[in-house]
Amino acid sequence: MIFTFDKALVREPSRSVVRGLSSQTGPRPSYDGIANEHAMYVRTLEECGLSVEILPPLEEFPDSVFVEDPALVFGDAAILLRPGAETRLGEASVLEPDLRRRFKRVLSLHGGFADGGDILRTPEGMYIGLSSRTDQRGAENLGELLRSLGLKSRIVRTPADTLHLKSDCSLVADDQVLCTEALARSEIFDGFRKLVVPRKEQRAANALRLNDTVLIGEDFPLTLELLRSQGHEVRTLPVREIGRIDAGLSCMSLRWNTREQTR
């Protein structure tokens, strides 16, 4: 059920996306490059069996294309989060009407900060990673909201210098996690089978499984072979431009299964 999706919500990148937050020192991305990669991402979601709705761009929020960070969604419910970057804090209120039109219940996080990029769903419950964008208070408050929906959660600490928990990992099977060496050394995923990405392909740890397919960036051939050796169906996507503003594959969409019911 964790990997079964039939709906997705994305936001068209704005022209201002080139000014998005970035921890990198290299060249800034081009708008056309990001727009092309985003369009291919949307097509791939559709080819994986999801019906995709595209929200209009928000010029006042350069990072709003990363629609996963201000919200968490399930089959019949959603939680509005509080992104930890000051320039992104207003994104949740703009997204709220769109979520209320699509979900029976919409809850809101009050107090603290939590980014969707720090929240990983597993068969054991939701892992909430503490990072520079998600703090203890936000994680604890989010845990209370999840409990009200009948969902378990666990607060974990991400490795030093990690932007988000899911920058360093992704669940690719119920008991198997793709992760960086730093995360593999931690105790976060004890009990899971760990696939460790090669050191020169660290960004490949942010993969995205949709139904029976795992999506990864096209610049990670060693990780591609690693996943295929485990029997996974894998598709690659260009993420070179959008990766210049710290993007991964999971952050560009909100995904849910309309048949899932929360408490």
- The per-residue pLDDT string of the chain (263 residues; one tens digit each, 9 = 90 and over) reads 799 999 999 999 999 999 999 988 778 899 999 999 999 999 999 999 999 999 999 999 999 999 999 999 999 999 999 999 999 999 999 999 999 999 999 999 999 999 999 999 999 999 999 999 999 999 999 999 999 999 999 999 998 888 899 999 999 999 999 999 999 998 899 999 999 999 999 999 999 999 999 999 999 999 999 999 999 999 999 999 999 999 889 999 999 999 999 99
**From the candidates 164, 169, 179, 232, which is the catalytic residue?**
164
What is the chain's length? 263
| 219, burial (CB in 10 Å: exposed 0-12, middle 13-18, buried 19+) | middle
d(CA 155, CA 130): 7
pTM: 0.96
* Start-to-end Cα distance in the chain: 16
- Residue 43 half-sphere exposure, CB side, CA atoms within 13 Å? 10
DSSP-derived secondary structure for 55-83: EPP-TT-TTTT-TTTTEEE-SSEEEE-B-
Q: Which of 48, 169, 179, 251 is catalytic?
A: 251
Q: Is 251 considered catalytic here?
A: yes
Cβ 232 vs Cβ 3: under 8 Å? no
| Cβ-based burial of 87 (10 A; exposed 0-12, middle 13-18, buried ≥19) | middle
Q: Assign 3-class secondary structure to 95-130.
A: HHHHHHHHCCEEEECCCCCECHHHEEEECCEEEEEE
For the chain, the 3-state helix, strand and coil shares in percent, each to the nearest 5, are 30, 25, 45
Q: What is the CA radius of gyration of the chain?
A: 17
157 sits in which H/E element: strand 153-157
Give the pLDDT score at 161. 81
pLDDT at residue 4, as a whole number: 97
Cα–Cα dist 210/253, whole Å: 11
What residues pair up with 233 in beta bridges, in sequence order?
213
Closest by Cα among 122, 189, 113 to 158 = 189
Reported as a single tens digit per residue, the pLDDT across 51-86 is 999 999 999 999 999 999 999 999 999 999 999 999
Mind listing the domains of the chain with CATH numbers?
7-256 (3.75.10.10)
- Which pLDDT value is given to residue 25? 78
**pLDDT given for residue 124 in this prediction:** 92
- pLDDT value at residue 90: 96
Distance CA 32, CA 42 (A): 15
What is the reported pLDDT for 7? 98
User: How confident is the model at residue 165, as a pLDDT?
Assistant: 96
Is 164 among the residues known to form the active site?
yes
Residue 225 has which token pair? 């072979």
